[in-house]
């Protein structure tokens, strides 16, 4: 079930996600004083972290006796990641449309 190709994709996704978290942290630090502009970046970080959890479960799917539980964790991690990323997009849209009176 675990092919070198699948493990390579999982490793690349962990590396790219770690780079994305580093970049998001750098951007978030620019908005430290503005809570309304900082929250979307925190939600985006949580979404990317959930993707890392999903990617880390890939190597154990073929070796573990509880494949069903790991598969469920992987699906839940991806769904949670999607929810966090979508919430971050909505919050960013609301934050960037702040009027001058706000």
**Span 37-80, pLDDT tens digits:** 778 888 889 999 998 888 888 776 666 566 778 888 888 998 99
**What is the number of domains present in the chain?**
1
pLDDT attached to residue 24: 86
Domain of 74, in residue numbers: 4-48+59-96
> Distance between CA atoms of 47 and 8, rounded to whole angstroms?
21
Report the pLDDT value the prediction gives residue 86, as an integer from 0 to 100: 94
Q: How far is CA 54 from the centre of its chain?
A: 9
pTM (global) more than 0.85: no
pLDDT at 61: 61
Q: Does a structural domain hold residue 54?
A: no
Q: Grade residue 98 by pLDDT with cuts at 50, 70 and 90.
A: low
Whether 8 is in a domain gets the answer yes
Is 72 part of any domain?
Answer: yes
Inside any domain, residue 101:
no
Whether residue 18 is contained in a domain is answered as: yes
63 within domain boundaries: yes
**pLDDT tens digits for range 22-44:** 988 888 887 777 767 778 888 88
Average of per-residue pLDDT across 95-101:
68
102 located within any domain = no
DSSP string, the chain: ---HHHHHHHHHHHHHHHHHHHHHHHHHHTTTT-HHHHHHHHHHHHHHHHHHHHHHTTTTTTT-S-HHHHHHHHHHHHHHHHHHHHHHHHHHHHHHT--TT-
């Amino acid at each position: 079930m675990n092919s070198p190709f699948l493990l390579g994709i999982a490793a690349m996704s962990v590396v790219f996600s770690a780079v994305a978290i580093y970049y998001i942290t750098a951007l978030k630090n620019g908005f430290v004083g503005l809570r309304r502009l900082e929250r979307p970046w925190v939600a985006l970080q949580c979404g990317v972290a959930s993707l890392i959890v999903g990617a880390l479960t890939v190597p154990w799917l073929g070796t573990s006796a509880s494949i069903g539980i790991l598969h469920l964790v992987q699906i839940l991690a991806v769904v949670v990641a999607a929810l966090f990323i979508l919430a971050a997009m909505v919050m960013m849209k609301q934050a960037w449309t702040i009027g001058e009176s706000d």
